Amino acid sequence: MRAMKNIVILISGRGSNMQAIVHAARAGGWPARIAAVISNRPDAAGLAFAQAQGIPTAVVANREFPNRECFDAALQREIDRFAPDLVVLAGFMRILTEPFVAHYAGRMLNIHPSLLPSFPGLATHRQALAAGVRVHGATVHFVTADLDHGPIVAQAAVAVEAGDTESSLAERVLAQEHIIYPEAVRCFVEDRLAIDNGLVRVAPPVQA
């Protein structure tokens, strides 16, 4: 029997991907617990959802620190209070320092609203529309020191339709995020992910 894994989720806003993961974990009986939801913004709407679910929450407000290094050090201390096996970035709008990323190497996931390596950074849907691509999407990846890069765990493709706006495209991409992110996290907690020469190998689920 697998040991239960602790998951700490970081958010900056409403945390819709966090909510999808919480619901999927409970519905699927994962060998994991959501140990905490932590935000860099005290007004993040997702904190109320987590509290209503009985999940411990914390705030480490980046505005209270003079630089990224000090903030990341304080955030790391708070995360580590919950002994995480996995740290999940779910709309956490901070660029992380190399020491912080190194501390969680191989156990921190992020989701990005594009088919990486295309369109890293912000305004991905605007970038996709401006480039005239026919296919857009979302990517779950392990976090490395390079912004929006790292071994890819899962991707979902979304067709770009005639007349799409940033908001209409974002809505369809987000719906796919809510599918692939929980599944990627589940694969991690079931010990089905392995990084081999920068590529992620996903093992099939064990049959009961």
Residue 88 and residue 90: Cα distance in Å, rounded? 6
Strands 135-142 and 5-11 come out as: unpaired
Task: State yes or no: is 112 an active-site residue.
Answer: yes
Nearest to 86 by CA among 194, 186, 183, 12: 186
Q: Which of 23, 103, 112, 136 is catalytic?
A: 112
DSSP state of 206: P
Q: Are 136 and 144 in contact (CB under 8 A)?
A: no
Residues 6+ apart with CB under 8 A from 130: none
Angle at 92 between CA 91 and CA 97, to 5 degrees: 145
The catalytic site residues sit at: 112
